[in-house]
Each structure stands twice: as structure tokens, then as C-alpha cells.
Structure 1
């Protein structure tokens, strides 16, 4: 389809390619084309199928399937048999033809934007982010196509992000994306160009106004076969795809002879070739191609002086021709100075002013998965001192050496590295990577990466000789945990999650941990299975893993005996469920005393115990932490964990005389719909009736880095309990569903109930959101007594007159099928059916919708989530018995109001 949205005729589509069409099908040239694809499964009637031979599959074998699905024409580069009513288009190279056809089909969108292409082994992603930041700071409208994702801002300024299965998409996807960007007002496209894309002709039909070469070092030799072939693929960007007036930006370090500069010989060679081709020094003359070089040497048009750096960033002076920019960047490393220079060279090629270039580069605070610092936040910065931890995509010998050299310059203690190598890839680089790590790190944890179809143990065996060559000795984790710095060596831990946890556990303040190889990736490929796995989340969980330092800081207790540095598991208050490594917390009650079960817990493998009275000093291996009150310690542990993950995790607290569980489940269903594209489980919610001074902390203790939201019930029997629960959970959003005559034995009157429930709003932070039930006069009164932000909901006419953000009208009872009603979210109305029996559940839906709205959830997800809700056990749940008998099970009802 052309840029104007008009249907293209087959003859028009074929104009840009040299081809022959079967004579009997020439009348088909006047037929409109409905689609273009190289996947026979995607053929629709009237589309054109291009048969491309791939590494594993040859599209020519699927021509008959494409014809059967109604294609108008097939494009081939060898003879095929097909029906007479299908045009057979013969070309010299169907792969190359696909690029030209895709560009024509989408109306040549690249011609409407300034195209910037980046190629090189390392640095493409970082440079693309820097160029994007520079353009945004200058008020331009860039789109980015690269390894992490495809992204741009639409005409409304909203950020559009697409997944990136390939660094450089195949031609039809690429041209469709470019058309999408052009139609959305994008004026600059920053594209990472992979060597695969260049070798496989994905760029046919494209020309770049700026072409960039970052560097070349060993990678992808499983595909290219040799470094020379790898270079020949990269150079195509400049020889075949640079626009007539385009600028080639080439980065290198002239005159360097050490290992770091080995790859830069390729940059010098490319620059020499381009000069011999006739490219003049930038800015050139007469609209011809020109060359701009970047590096540390005086001869480069864009050059830098040596940087000054620490863990927080670098400072350096950049020379842009005759102009000078003093730059401060959050990036670190000499190789990142080269990335900054490369991006500055692009800015210069685009005609940007030095001030714009410097300001834009300084504004980029980091790049996803590229020396990305991972740390626990917390509202007040609490948490034990520990190592600095970085996640990086480095998966080649050169990249790994650059990163480790950078970190070696800023670490005061030990440098710890977790790494591995991908399966089904160049085996020759494995021992090389081992040698780099062994030479530059103090401690190495050799693990798996993406083993794919290879055996992980076999990959590790290929890496180990490199570590041994560097004279790094093999040891065991127990030795590293017990030893004092500078204890070193390497350990094999094939499970990547366990390796990351071990690295963070053995490192101490002053040490630095590098998790290398996967960076921004959110998966691990084992066999043919793609599993969710994010090094950054795993690192956060490793930093969250309980240690004696964590336990002491959370509880304020003292270590009365046992080892201080141990790997700990979960917190448990039940000796019957203890797993090896767990922490047993001995609660006391009216009819039990957990201290009586400490020995049982230890025999079952508890590595630490928390108690409120001293134990006999005969436990050398068990950490014994003494606190004043174990119940309070339980809450403090949960509060500590919650704060370490704030503000990354949003917490919702729900209380009320009835409806808590249903509103919690409805709210969780909405959040699950909102986050359904996330690969992990993003929603934590209260299980069962774990909503009191014991249950809520146990619920919060399940919190992990992958959670985006925690939806928690808060129950109580006496005054002060909700205040304590709110102090533990520190909710960002709080909802009181209603106030009714419940728990009167502990609260006396309905006003006592209201006061106890109102403790939630009173304890919340000023910036937290109170969700108000305007149908309930007592809840309205509680809302008036406190400050903070508010969002309301109402079902009744009396409640709607307060004009809350969430309103329900036109309620229709469908009996056992549920309730149908109109839900109004501010100015948006939606008619929906919720499979929840009873009119009271309409109010519960409104409460859940208001909570979600307070969290920024969109209307579509709210409606989708409510539609997915199903009644919980013993809460108006319809059950079918033999002989067609239906029973509504509402046996959980706990007070007269809920029965009503």
C-alpha cells in the first residue's frame, strides 16, 4: 500500500525491479495488490508472495501453499510450477527484490525522513540512544530501530514501543515500520544495521543520509565464516546504501597497537577505502559524499581528550572541528567516550550546533542493558551497604574486555563477573572470553547464557580452558563466602539465577559485580524453549535475598551467635514448611510458642532463626538474631522489603467491613489485564485470609522484583491494627470499601468501626491516593477528615451527585449470569457484563475500577479485567450439582451486613 493509502496495481509494484512475467498472466498486472509477504502462511487473496531461500527453509517450496491461499503473483528466482491464473515473476535475486518491492509497496517512506544507519560489532545500541537523546533535546522527532526495541513518539507525543525480534527487521516489516513512523510525524530514523541484514539484503531499496561505523571485532563467525567476510558485509552500508550526498562517520583510534585497538584496524581500513573511493573530508563539496572520522587522535574531525571518571559517570572535553564542548556524561568507560564521539559526529553531520550536541549527549542518563547499574531504591534509601552491580550486554571478547577494563579502573575492592556464552554460535570465542575474564576479574562465576540446542555443560567446558590459561584457579562457593577479600578464583554454577545470587551474596561493600552477556534481554533460550529471564530483575532479587545484614537492619535485632555471611532463603513462621536455607521466625501466641520449635526448624535446614529470648549457645552454623518482639519483627521485615522495592512496586491497601476480598480479586484481574504483555507474573495479591498482623506481612514477604503491583487486604478486630498494617505496607493507593456493623465486640459501635477503618486514610502518605466510596456516608466523612489525593466511585444516585471519577448507571441484574451496567470513567463510558452475581458486586466493580484508575490503568484494561473476573470460593459462586440442580455458595459471609 502506498503512503497515500491507495491500492497499488501489480504492474506499479513491479516497476522498481528487473523481472519477467509469464505472458499468460500479463492481464494480472492491472489488478490491485492487497499485500506483500515472504511467508506463505500470511498470504491473503490478492497478495504477492516472494519466495526467498533462507538458511533453513526455501520459500520456493511453499509456492503451492501461497497459490492455494489466493495470491495474485509469486516472485521467484528459479523455475516453479503453478496455476495459470497466478502471475509468476522471475527475478535474478528474490531476496534483493523483496526489499525493493517492500519499499515500493509502502510508498518509499524512508524518502520522507532523514535516515541514519549504524553498523559495527559493539556500540550500536548505545550510540543509537545517544543520537536519539541528542535529537530529542534539539526538538527533533526521531524514531529508533534497534536491538532493544523499535520506538518513536506519535503526533500526540505518546511513546510507541514495539518488540524487536531482530536488530534490523526483515524488509516488509522494516518498510511497514518506516511507513508507520513517517505517517506519525517522525523526521529522523536512527537504525542499527546488523551484518546479517546487510548480507541478507534486507536494506535493498534504502539509502542513508548518515552511515556510521563503530568498530569491528570477533562475532557472528558462525554466520560469516571469517573476519574478512564479516567486514565485507559491514562495508556494504557505505558502498551500497549511502545516499549520494551522504556522510560516512567512521570511528577509530589511530596509532594504537594494544589489544583494545586490534579491532580499530578495520575502521582505519574502511576510512582508507572510502577516501580512495573519492569521499572528501566532511563537509565535502557540491552535494557529494563525505567522510567524518571520530577518535582520540588529533587527526580526527571529532576527537576527545582522555576522560576523568568514577562510578557515577565521566567528564571529558570533545573537539568538534574547531569548536570545543565540555561534556559530563552518566556513562563510564573509554569505549563509551568513543560512543559519545560517534554520536557527536552524527550530530555534526546533521548540522547541529555544538551546544545542542553537548546538551543532548549529557541528557542521556543510561542505556538499557549497557553497563546498567542495578540497585534497590527504597523511599528513604535504607538497605545494607553492598557491592555496586552492573548488567551489560557484552557477549564478545572485545566487548567483555572493554567493560571489565572500565570497571577495573573504578573498583576499590574485588571485581566479580558472572558470564557464559551462547549456544549454536561461534565456538572459537568461548575460550577467548574465559581468558579475558580470568585476566581482568578477581572472581568469576561461570554460568549459562542462552544455551539453545547445545548442552550448557559443554559450552562451559569450552570456556574453562581460557580461565585456566589466565592462571585463575577453580574454587568453590563456600570458600568464597567464608573467605575474606581478596579471596578469588572461579566457580562453575550452571544455573544462571543461582550464579547471580551467589555473586551478589559473596560481594561486599567496595566490590563490583558485572553480570555480562544478556543485558536488556528478557528471555533465556534453552533447547527450543524461550523462557522469561531478565538479568536486571534477577539481580534485584539477588540483592533482595535475605542475609544476616538484611535481617539485622530490618528488625534492629542483634546477632547473638552463628555466621554472618550465609545464603538465606525465605522467612517462615511454620516449622512444618521449613526448606533448607530458610529463616525461622518464632512467633508466640495464647496457645503456642514458636521457640519450642526452633530445634525442629534447624534440623529441617533453617540457616537462621529470629527469636525474642536467648537460645543456648550451641549453634555454630545457625545465625541467631535476637529481637524484642517477634510479631513486630515480622511486620518490620515485610515493611523493609516493601521499601527496598519502592517506588518500582505500587502497593494497594483495601479494607472495609465487607467486599475486601472481591474488590481485591477484581483489582488484581484488572492489573493482570493491564500487564498481560509482561513476560513475568507482575501482580502480587493476598492469598486466602492472610490479611491481619501475621498474614499481611507474610503476603508482602512474597514480593519480588518482577512484581509491578501488590494488592493487599487489610483486616482487623481492634483499634490500631489497620494503622500498623498501613505502616507496614505503606500503600500508594488505599480503599475503604464500606463501613458496617462488624467486629463490634472489639470496636463497640459503628462509629468505632469507622474510626478503625479510617486509620488507613490517616496513615497514608500525602502523595498517596485515597479511593472514596461516595455511596457510603461514613466513608465520605472519613475522607473529609484527612488530606491527600482522592478518587471516588458511586453507584447510587445520592453518591453520583458528588461527581466522582467512576460512576455506574443503567444496572441490570442478569441473575446467575451476572450483572450488566454502564461504567463511566471520567468522560469515557462503556457498557459491560461482569459474571458476578448480585447488585452489591456492581459497587465492588466500581471500587476496583477506581483503584485501577488511580494507578493510571487505561479504560480498556479496566473493562477487560472486570470481564475476566470470576467469583472466588464461597463467595456467591454458582455450583452445578447432579440432575441439573444449581447452588449458589456464599458460605464465607462473615457479618450481618454482608449477608444482607
Structure 2
């Protein structure tokens, strides 16, 4: 593509003599540069693309976009104020603005984004509308599934996904939209038809300076939403958000499991280990009964959010009911681990105090014996939530095993000590086992019939990051392997 078309309507200034330059592609990772590509320097959490501009030039980059006046003899350089903003605009031009042909459904909030996204996708497909998905677990485009490098892809990768959706005739896409993506401009210039706010809780305080900034970044999504924002008003931040959006004449409605006067209200009819039933109401009028195999109050909020969103989009009640009913599970989200000895084990991605509390409450309601919780906290991330998670675990579990969860470059002993600050004061019995495999082995060894083991933190993830290295590690597989050995644990005897 000619440079003049790549930079069309971007406001980026460059010499007229460069207009006819041929650019073969766009890249922000110097290791993936191909001859004739444009290299865009992005600043990240751990590194800075400007450092690799020379490497990109050596590998054959035709032109470099940067925020700094770099010295790159023989390689044209365009200096911009914000390279992420530039990348978003250039990528849209390169792929022909495919997002204009796709209805975007955004989901943001601290907890619940993934499950809500899966429910939205399920209802859309029950409605006869094929749907793409980008989120924490993976990116789905028709029958293709790609590994998710981050919850919300970079703008360049998003445009590639949208182009692929367009090529396949898929006109809907549901996206988990993280606060990182909103702050770093990954979804800049995108218009969302509908967006959902799940909740705001303790998380990412290593990235945002305080909770107020975290809230304001989340709010950005709704200023980019053109048809309707769907807001959880049982959450304090959700109440504030709905009030502010209405004051600013931004279309928004509320959903609630507590306030029958909310725009969308869900009345819990039954909830147990086998599933739940919810009466779905809109402005005081009964719409339909929603039946699901999911359980726990947090699951009902996720279901109500998706149902309210799709009703706002015009989906018939019977379609919403079908989409909810046929959704059987989300990988790593309150997922029972089937095994050869019927040991009750659930894995969940819960890695914030609120999320851990929600799954522990749900697990305790299903447990006749002891609730054993295996969990940890990530390294090089928000330290302030560690004692809070310890306190929550100790409050609801009968026994806790503190272990590793992607310690990265931080000392696992220090992470465990931070968790222990909150756990110790609860009086709950606990032990610290740094090795995650050994922690799982210990939990299984102490299991007795009627107990339930909750393994939190990693969910769908199949790796551990220790130091600067990434190792294969799958909670689900290891749990099954340990149980199948049958060497420890009182699995079926009283």
C-alpha cells in the first residue's frame, strides 16, 4: 500500500516526496519485521519499542513511526506525538476500516468480563447472528481460534481480526475491553453498539495511580458506545456511572438483582448445584424465565448483564432464553475438574479479592464437608490486593494452601508473606507451599468425601511465569494426574 493511503486522514505530517513509497505491512514487534514493513515504536510496561527501531531498520523496515527523533541512517523516520494513536489510525486504513461493518459489543469491569462475553456470543448465535470474540481466553473468528496474548489485542491486531471477520461474513464481535486497552488507546476510534459494565473492584493498582483513575478509564468505553450502555447498578461504581452517563446524555440503562425498579431486574427463582432459574423482567414486565446450569450469585449477574444487553439490541425473549440455556461452561470459570475418582475440585480464574469471595461463597454453598482453597497472587503486580485476598480466603475456606501464581521476577516468599498478613488474622488453618504442583498434591492428599477443593488464580491458563521464563503448567491436567495416581487422599471413604 502507498504511504499516502496509509496516512490518509491521520493528521500525520511527512514529506511529499514519500507519498508513493510502497509499504508491505505494519509491525510493532521488530522480531516479526519483513522487508518493506512500517515499524511503529510502542512504549509498554516492560520495554520500549524505540529501543528496537534500529533492529527493525536492519531487518528491512521501509519506514519507522516513533515519538522520539531517532537516528536511523538510510531509513525514513516520521516523528509523532503519540505512536499508539498513530498505529490505531494507520491500521484502520491498512485493513480498510473493517470495524465499520461490524456490530461491536464491549464488556468491561473488574470481574465477569469473560463469562458475560461468552453469554453474549451464545445469545447472538441463537439469534442467527455469527459472532467473533476477543478476550482473556482466546480470540475466535469463525471456526478459527487464536491464542490470546492479552485480554484486548493491540489496535493493529484488532483491525486484522475485524478484517478476517468481514471476509467470513461475520457481522458481530463481542470484546472484553480492559482498562489497559482503554488507557493505552488499543480501542481508540472504535464505536461500540452496546457496552456492559460488570463491576469495579480492587485490581490493577500497579498500573493505575488510584481507584478514581481506574473508574474514569473504564468509563471511557461508554463515551464510545452509540446505542446503549448496560450498567450493573448493584455495584456502587455502577450506580455512579449510570447517573453520570444520563447527565451527559449518553444512552444507558441499569440492571439489578436487588432493585425491582431497575430497568432490567432479575428475580432469583432457584439456585443450587444443578443450576439456577431467573425471572427476567424489563420495566416491571415479565419477559421470560432464564434457566442455566451455572450457579452462584456472580453467575446470575453475568447472565442478567448479557440478557439485558441483547434485549436492548432487539433479541426476542425466546432467543435470549435459548442462548442462556445452551451455554454449558466457560474454560477456567468455576469449572469442575472431572476425574476418575469423583474428587470434587473446581478451578477458577479468580485473582481479585471480590472474585475470590464470590467463588468461595458459591463453593461453600455446594460443600458438605470442608472447603479447601489453593491460591496465590501474581508477582510484579498490584501488591495491595494480596492481604485482602488472604483475608477473604481465610474468612470462607476451612483450610488454605498459599502457593505460587506467576511470581514473575518477584520473590514468591515475599508474595506469600503479603498474603499471609490478611490470612493470619482470620484464624483459618493454612500452610504455605511455594511449589504449585506440591500445593495441589497436598490439597488432594487431605481430601475426604464431602470436601471441595477450590483452586483459584489460573483458571484457563496453561503456564507459570517464574523469573523471566514461561513454563507449561495446567492445573486441570495436574489435578487429574495426581488423582489418577491414587496414592494419597481418602476419596470415597468416611
Report what 2:155 is aligned to: 171
Report what 1:185 is aligned to: 169
Shift of 1:189: 0.4
Shift of 1:307: 4.6
Return the match for 1:201 from 178, 185, 210: 185
Mapping of residues 253-402 of structure 1, within 5 Å:
253=234, 264-279=235-250, 290-296=251-257, 297-321=259-283, 322-376=285-339, 383=341, 387-402=343-358
SS in structure 1 at match of 2:201: coil
Q: Distance in 1 between matches of 2:431 and 2:50?
A: 49
Unaligned runs of 5+ in 2: none
Q: Indicate how the Cα distance of structure 1 residues 491 and 81 shifts in structure 2: closer, same or farther if over 3 A, else same.
A: closer
Shift of 1:79: 2.6
Give per-residue Cα distances to partners, 1:512-561, cap 9 Å, x unaligned. 2111110000011111121111111122223323148899x9xxxxxxxx
Give per-residue Cα distances to partners, 1:254-282, cap 9 Å, x unaligned. xxxxxxxxxx2111111111111112xxx
Q: Distance in 2 between matches of 1:313 and 1:527?
A: 41
Give per-residue Cα distances to partners, 1:35-76, cap 9 Å, x unaligned. 111223333333222222333333334333333333332222
Report what 2:60 is aligned to: 70
Shift of 1:86: 4.6
Give per-residue Cα distances to partners, 1:761-815, cap 9 Å, x unaligned. xxxxxxxxxxxxxxxxxxxxxxxxxxxxxxxxxxxxxxxxxxxxxxxxxxxxxxx
Return the match for 2:37 from 47, 56, 64: 47
SS in structure 1 at match of 2:253: strand
Q: Distance in 2 between matches of 1:55 and 1:448?
A: 22
Report what 1:414 is aligned to: 370
Q: Indicate how the Cα distance of structure 1 residues 174 and 14 shifts in structure 2: closer, same or farther if over 3 A, else same.
A: same
Return the match for 1:454 from 394, 406, 410: 410
Q: Distance in 2 between matches of 1:532 and 1:335?
A: 30
Q: Distance in 1 between matches of 2:54 and 2:336?
A: 52
Q: Indicate how the Cα distance of structure 1 residues 196 and 335 shifts in structure 2: closer, same or farther if over 3 A, else same.
A: same
Report what 1:162 is aligned to: 146
SS in structure 2 at match of 1:81: coil
Please say if residues 391 and 536 of structure 1, whose CA atoms lie closer than 8 Å, have aligned partners that are also in contact: yes
Please say if residues 50 and 66 of structure 2, whose CA atoms lie closer than 8 Å, have aligned partners that are also in contact: yes
SS in structure 2 at match of 1:451: coil
Q: Distance in 2 between matches of 1:232 and 1:376?
A: 44
Report what 1:13 is aligned to: 6
Report what 1:630 is aligned to: none
Q: Distance in 2 between matches of 1:496 and 1:55?
A: 26
Give per-residue Cα distances to partners, 1:628-662, cap 9 Å, x unaligned. xxxxxxxxxxxxxxxxxxxxxxxxxxxxxxxxxxx
Report what 1:507 is aligned to: 447
TM-score scaled by length of structure 1: 0.53
Please say if residues 323 and 354 of structure 1, whose CA atoms lie closer than 8 Å, have aligned partners that are also in contact: no
Shift of 1:429: 0.9
Q: Distance in 1 between matches of 2:86 and 2:488?
A: 64
Number of paired residues? 492
Mapping of residues 496-575 of structure 1, within 5 Å:
496-547=436-487
Please say if residues 279 and 286 of structure 2, whose CA atoms lie closer than 8 Å, have aligned partners that are also in contact: no
Highest Rg: 1 or 2? 1
Q: Distance in 1 between matches of 2:489 and 2:400?
A: 24
Mapping of residues 87-126 of structure 1, within 5 Å:
87-126=76-115
Q: Distance in 2 between matches of 1:269 and 1:351?
A: 26
Shift of 1:441: 0.8
Shift of 1:320: 3.4
Aligned-pair RMSD on alpha carbons? 2.0
TM-score scaled by length of structure 2: 0.95
Shift of 1:311: 1.5
Please say if residues 122 and 324 of structure 2, whose CA atoms lie closer than 8 Å, have aligned partners that are also in contact: yes
Q: Distance in 2 between matches of 1:140 and 1:191?
A: 15
Please say if residues 18 and 91 of structure 1, whose CA atoms lie closer than 8 Å, have aligned partners that are also in contact: no
SS in structure 2 at match of 1:332: coil
Shift of 1:175: 1.2
Mapping of residues 20-59 of structure 1, within 5 Å:
20-21=13-14, 23=15, 26-59=16-49
Return the match for 1:81 from 67, 71, 84: 71
Give per-residue Cα distances to partners, 1:658-677, cap 9 Å, x unaligned. xxxxxxxxxxxxxxxxxxxx
Report what 2:435 is aligned to: 495
Q: Indicate how the Cα distance of structure 1 residues 358 and 210 shifts in structure 2: closer, same or farther if over 3 A, else same.
A: same
Q: Distance in 2 between matches of 1:216 and 1:334?
A: 16
Unaligned runs of 5+ in 1: 1-7, 154-158, 254-263, 280-289, 378-382, 473-488, 554-563, 566-900
Report what 1:482 is aligned to: none
Please say if residues 307 and 334 of structure 1, whose CA atoms lie closer than 8 Å, have aligned partners that are also in contact: no
Please say if residues 505 and 542 of structure 1, whose CA atoms lie closer than 8 Å, have aligned partners that are also in contact: no
Q: Distance in 1 between matches of 2:18 and 2:485?
A: 66
Give per-residue Cα distances to partners, 1:368-406, cap 9 Å, x unaligned. 1010011226xxxxx4xx542110000110100111111
Q: Distance in 2 between matches of 1:498 and 1:525?
A: 17
Q: Distance in 2 between matches of 1:295 and 1:353?
A: 20
Report what 2:50 is aligned to: 60
SS in structure 1 at match of 2:150: coil
Please say if residues 307 and 337 of structure 1, whose CA atoms lie closer than 8 Å, have aligned partners that are also in contact: no
SS in structure 1 at match of 2:207: helix
Report what 1:631 is aligned to: none
Shift of 1:299: 2.7
Shift of 1:467: 1.3
Give per-residue Cα distances to partners, 1:567-609, cap 9 Å, x unaligned. xxxxxxxxxxxxxxxxxxxxxxxxxxxxxxxxxxxxxxxxxxx
Report what 1:250 is aligned to: 231
Return the match for 1:404 from 326, 351, 360: 360
Q: Distance in 2 between matches of 1:41 and 1:152?
A: 25
Q: Distance in 1 between matches of 2:207 and 2:252?
A: 29
Please say if residues 40 and 66 of structure 1, whose CA atoms lie closer than 8 Å, have aligned partners that are also in contact: yes
Q: Distance in 1 between matches of 2:436 and 2:232?
A: 35
Mapping of residues 595-674 of structure 1, within 5 Å:
none
Return the match for 1:222 from 190, 206, 209: 206
